[in-house]
Amino acid sequence: MGNQVVIAVGTFILLLTGLLLGYVLSQLVLGFLPFNLLTFFGTLSLILIFGTLYYVLFWQLRREQSRSSPSSLNRPIPSQVEEDVSDSYLKNRLIARLSGDTAAAEKLIEQAKETYPGMPENWYCERVLDDLDGDR
């Protein structure tokens, strides 16, 4: 709920700042607003506010998506690039679960490959992670 409030407020402020920035720039271009030090710094501050809000808003959206990504691992992955990212993500989770022991992670994956041949790479990582969760 808190993330949704941040996203909604950020979007509203971003929209308001964008409209204000567009208005000020259009008045400067049309010549209705004189270009002086005050309008320069005002326009610059609007651009900085707009850019910062844009960055923070999409950083928040990306953070929210990364929190929900482990639950969406069961959906089919459309491209090879996303599959490689998923493989490395699962392998990194496995290594982190084993306190950074890369050799042990590779050994567990190889054991799973011997036990269940012919499965995709990410399936083995998921299997080993599930087995480790079951041991706890």
pLDDT tens sequence across 73-115: 555 545 555 555 666 788 888 888 888 888 988 899 899 999 9
User: What pTM value is reported for the model?
Assistant: 0.40
Q: Of 116, 62, 123, 113, which Cα lies nearest the Cα of 87? A: 123
Q: Where are the alpha helices (DSSP H) in the chain?
A: 2-30, 37-68, 80-97, 102-115, 121-135
The residue type found at 79 is: S
Residue 91 Cα distances to 58, 81, 117, 132, angstroms: 26, 15, 18, 13
Confidence of residue 46 (pLDDT cuts 50, 70, 90): confident
Residue 94 · residue 129 · CB < 8 Å? yes
Confidence of residue 45 (pLDDT cuts 50, 70, 90): confident
Kindly tell me if the per-residue pLDDT of 120 is higher than 60.
yes
Packed helices 121-135 and 102-115: angle between N→C axes, nearest 10 degrees: 110
DSSP 8-class letter at 36: S
